[in-house]
Structure 1
């Protein structure tokens, strides 16, 4: 019998769940020395209920690779059910960013449909990621507990009048309130029985430590995001005392490799996850990671023999599921063997440009889960009139792909739209606008006749930010642009370059020291003066220091404005047959010293 978690869940308490399953082999009860626990994991779903039109490059039997169409919540649910059926001793977990930065069919409804769909999948835990905080902690608490309280500009409960909240537990061990308690429980336990033997798995959920620099600061006010390794290590003794035989860290932080999605070599593993792993307690058995949208399966003992745990990630958007098998000796209560594979969630073919990504007979194909398919259809029908509304025309696609200077056509186009919306004196008198690249979530590709539809705009800008105009001096703008290369997670190796509006140009030289990299700032051909005041537009995420651009906080004479997506729509409507701008406003010179 499975004991279900019941709400409300008091903050700080541990979640206890049990799954009892007896052996089906006569005379086997009590005789088997080991019990195999199956973990099923995914991460970075980002509300992708419909197939995301992505393919996995997978090995082909005769050599080379084949593109396998992947993703879609209805197919994902069937794949999860198939994995569950292989072993009654199972747990399903997500490593964060289940919601946030979602396509319109979920985002328009505050990601309620994603929570409902995942409820139907029957998962156990989700380690809270940074994007779960996109709309603030009060809205995130609503995602757990349910209800229709309004915390955003969007209206909750538009389709389901009694939003139930998540029937799985959100875990956030290192997300701490001012009173020292965690926003959500730190850990969860799940116990499996086989005859008289019993194995308990302890789960530790960790949020990205850098979350405050990745979301609107107001949404995480009063919260501290503590070190991932220190937090996990401190919790392990308590989990052991409660009977946990297996320790699983589910963490919204990750890395990248230089090999395929299911290659076990760990080749080229890099990223922020590495120093965390090297400091984790060796008693950890598995680390299920996310955040980077990269897929990998790695026996970390090949890299650090003192840390012989498995490291996994299932990529992004529900295109993969990670199947992890842990063999536990029921006498010693230790893991004696572990293995993992990333499984492609293959559901349906799709057309991409002139090419069709067909179903591959080399890999399993899953059918749609009828309940989730019907749920998605219900929300899609409500959204359809808005999604299909033509809002303008483009003469060519606008890509978010970065140029060598790390600006993009689409980022520049959005900045232009925000400048146009705030240039009138009554709207703020803006002279310059900046757009953050992380806020541009999809390319903007017009239809055959150039039509651009509202659903596409929403896919590009799903966050619902307001425009804000502030006064900054030329010196402050220079300091702001310096933060692209040396502020928090913005570094020379991983710069986050702001996308500028028309008329503003500058150069940066990576060979120069910090504080002296920005050169030649001009507005309409006139050099910016350090002591002169300029009116600058940004979205509300940046306005409060998002992406670690803290100089925005120094702005004065603040004036709020329209929603970013409304400004974009108005710009397209005001410019029939709009030609996307060139990505030539920033010049990169020099190399990293």
Structure 2
């Protein structure tokens, strides 16, 4: 059992008596009512227990333990829930999902989340992967306009509210979804506000956010707080799909954050917001930050893929309706697999697993060892290299000379140990899908050598570092000690130094080609040549190679 992290010790108040008569009895403490929040973030449709490094978490003792899986989430939630409980989420519940969920447009995941009692969730950037129309269908119901109804029949819509206070229609300036909601629990009214990172347009394909404006998170949260106050709501929780990184090895309840955008939002948000639950960065932390009025409030995040449940306990003053800040206590609970799984959820997951099995279990290739996303000192990964090689192969017939892959688009490791009955080393379609779940299109952009150099310099921005993964015939050196904008050198293609004036045809997915992750140089080519879906190219490459070994990490030198 982990110990809750409490923000403030309770303080005793003394009331002085006045007059000559015997002093009246001291006023008792204000009557309060208990409330418990349980929260998930960045679930990404992981109904089955995630595999590889995505399926472990650092626990309170500092040990790395298996974690996650819908049946275990349901079991832990059942043990944690009481009659005073609200269950919420901080976005990216869907999108970049394993095939069991993605094959049915994440309806199984949203059904599961409703069944376990989620009542409200911020939208995440991945909720916009298929555009606003699809998000609204997930919210309100109806069959998919292209693929029709799933085997479960007509989709009835989410049982919880998606909240997006800072996502507005470009034409009207009105919110595209509810900005906030009010929930009653144990006699208390709790206002819940949802916002998503304002960087969403840079990390989602342009079609996914067409016609939308992503406002500053704090500005939108504060506007919603004012609206809640006008309705007499004083207890407020902000669900924000944005967060911070942490120091390596941080335990669930540690505040090991490297303060960044998430902390800034938590510090600047309206003083009446008592709790800030975050996500997006896939980290675990429980912190106390000071709001604009100098009072502390809880700020936390619960990892990703259903590996951690955040529990927040507090009491609400029945007279004022506000949260008593001194009672706030946060506790990140690892979703361990050493408990009895929730049987109804097990059956639910198995039903969807059986439905997708004919596709998911088809062998597409073999590997000789784990091929992972573990980076070299330079930031190169074996799996990123493999994906880049596959994309180059898929676009050779369209003139591609080299390929580059964004690291965030490689979602999980390829593990040598069999996940089912397919045998060790066999890669199934479902496993390949888990690596490349976005259905992006691979294309080719024409860039001069000078602009290729400029593109590689965009691996460092004010938002941090994102090292592009190169195909085998593209080499370069990085030096992080040099100023941003002058860190890349010795670029070669097929062993020859890049000519600044020559034109090179660079394969990449349409997310990058549209300037995603800040790689705006790709947009120099206004008419890139488009090819297959990235997953189709990846599967074809694995099949053509027969057996693949982890590529050596020698394409990016330096550090």
TM-score per shorter chain, which class?
0.7 to 0.9
Residues 434, 501 of structure 1: 8 Å contact kept = yes
Task: Determine whether 1:44 maps to 2:53.
Answer: no
Task: Determine whether 1:104 maps to 2:102.
Answer: no
Distance 1:285 1:103 in 2: 35
Q: Residue 56 and residue 446 in structure 1: after superposition, are their counterparts in 2 closer, same or farther (change >3 A)?
A: closer
Aligned-residue offset at 1:257: 4.1
Task: Determine whether 1:180 maps to 2:173.
Answer: yes
Distance 1:83 1:162 in 2: 33
Q: Residue 569 and residue 213 in structure 1: after superposition, are their counterparts in 2 closer, same or farther (change >3 A)?
A: same
Aligned-residue offset at 1:343: 2.4
Q: After TM superposition, list the pairs within 5 Å mapping 1:337-352 onto structure 2.
A: 337-346=327-336, 348=337
SS at match of 2:59: strand
Give the TM-score, by structure 1 length: 0.83
SS at match of 2:189: strand
Q: After TM superposition, list the pairs within 5 Å mapping 1:108-507 onto structure 2.
A: 108-150=103-145, 155-178=147-170, 179-192=172-185, 194=187, 199-258=188-247, 260-263=250-253, 266-301=255-290, 306-336=294-324, 337-346=327-336, 348=337, 359=338, 365-370=339-344, 372-424=345-397, 428-447=398-417, 450-486=425-461, 489=463, 494-507=464-477
Residues 252, 290 of structure 1: 8 Å contact kept = yes
Q: Deviations over 1:35-93 (max 9, x none)?
A: 1122111111111111225344334xxxx555543322123223333433x2x233211
Distance 2:253 2:425 in 1: 42
SS at match of 1:416: helix
Distance 1:286 1:557 in 2: 46
SS at match of 2:384: helix
Distance 2:503 2:527 in 1: 11
Residue matched to 1:58: 59
Q: Deviations over 1:537-591 (max 9, x none)?
A: 11111111111111111115522111111111111222222333222111225xx
Residues 471, 556 of structure 1: 8 Å contact kept = no
Q: Deviations over 1:354-410 (max 9, x none)?
A: xxxxx3xxxxx353141x322211210121122221111223322211111111111
Distance 2:238 2:383 in 1: 38
Residues 261, 342 of structure 1: 8 Å contact kept = no
Distance 2:497 2:66 in 1: 51
Q: Residue 319 and residue 537 in structure 1: after superposition, are their counterparts in 2 closer, same or farther (change >3 A)?
A: same
SS at match of 1:240: helix
Residue matched to 2:5: none
Structure 1 residue runs without a partner (length 5+): 1-30, 349-358, 360-364
Residue matched to 1:89: 84
Residue matched to 2:4: none
Aligned-residue offset at 1:191: 2.4
Runs of 4+ in structure 1 over 6 Å off:
none
SS at match of 1:311: strand
SS at match of 1:334: coil
Residue matched to 2:19: none
Aligned-residue offset at 1:466: 1.3
Q: Residue 561 and residue 177 in structure 1: after superposition, are their counterparts in 2 closer, same or farther (change >3 A)?
A: same
Distance 2:284 2:343 in 1: 24
Distance 2:479 2:310 in 1: 43
Pairwise CA RMSD: 2.2
Task: Determine whether 1:76 maps to 2:73.
Answer: yes
Q: Residue 230 and residue 456 in structure 1: after superposition, are their counterparts in 2 closer, same or farther (change >3 A)?
A: same
Distance 2:292 2:30 in 1: 32
Of 511, 521, 529, the match for 1:559: 529
Residues 274, 298 of structure 2: 8 Å contact kept = yes
Residue matched to 2:22: none
SS at match of 2:460: coil
Give the TM-score, by structure 2 length: 0.88
Distance 2:391 2:165 in 1: 38
Distance 1:420 1:580 in 2: 17
Residue matched to 1:16: none
Residues 78, 366 of structure 1: 8 Å contact kept = yes
Q: Structure 1 residues 202-211 or 525-534, which shifts more?
A: 525-534
Residues 261, 297 of structure 1: 8 Å contact kept = no
Instruction: Name the count of aligned residue pairs.
Output: 519
